[in-house]
Amino acid sequence: MYTWAALVAISLAIMWSIWLRVCRCRAALDNLPQVEPRPSPFSTAVQELVATAGGVYLSLVMIVSFLKLELPERITINILSFDPLAMTAIGVAVIQPVISKLFGDK
C-alpha cells in the first residue's frame, strides 16, 4: 500500500515540476517572433527535466567515483527497487524549478 502511495507521490511531484517548467517556457516563448515553428511548452519542459536530471546524475556518479564511496547499487523498498543516485538526480531535478521560482530566477 505504501509503495503505491510513494509512486503516486513521485508521479505527482514530477507532474508538478513539469507544470512549473511549462509555465516558465510559455512566458519565454510569448516574447519570440513566430518566424519558425516552435516547440510546445510541454515538450520543452520535459526536455529540461530530463536534461537536468541527466546532468545531476552524471555529476553524482563522478563525485561518487572520485571519492570512492561505497553505495548500494539498488535500494529495495517493498516491491519497488531503484538506483539511489538516479532517484536523487530526479529529486533534485523536480525541486529545481521550485527553488528557481523562490529566488526569482528566470
**HSE-up (13 A, CA, CB side) for residue 13:** 15
DSSP assignment of the chain: -HHHHHHHHHHHHHHHHHHHHHHHHHHHHTTS-SSS----HHHHHHHHHHHHHHHHHHHHHHHHHHHT----S-EEETTEEE-HHHHHHHHHHHHHHHHHHHTT--
Q: Mean pLDDT in runs of 10 for the chain (106 residues)?
A: 81 86 76 68 87 94 92 86 91 88 73
pLDDT at 3: 79
Residues 6 or more apart whose CB falls under 8 angstroms from that of 93 comprise: 17, 49, 52, 53, 56
Extents of the domains making up the chain: 2-102
pLDDT at 93: 92
Query: Which residue type occupies 24?
Result: R
CB-count burial class (<10 Å; 0-12, 13-18, 19+) for 91: middle
pTM to 2 decimal places? 0.67
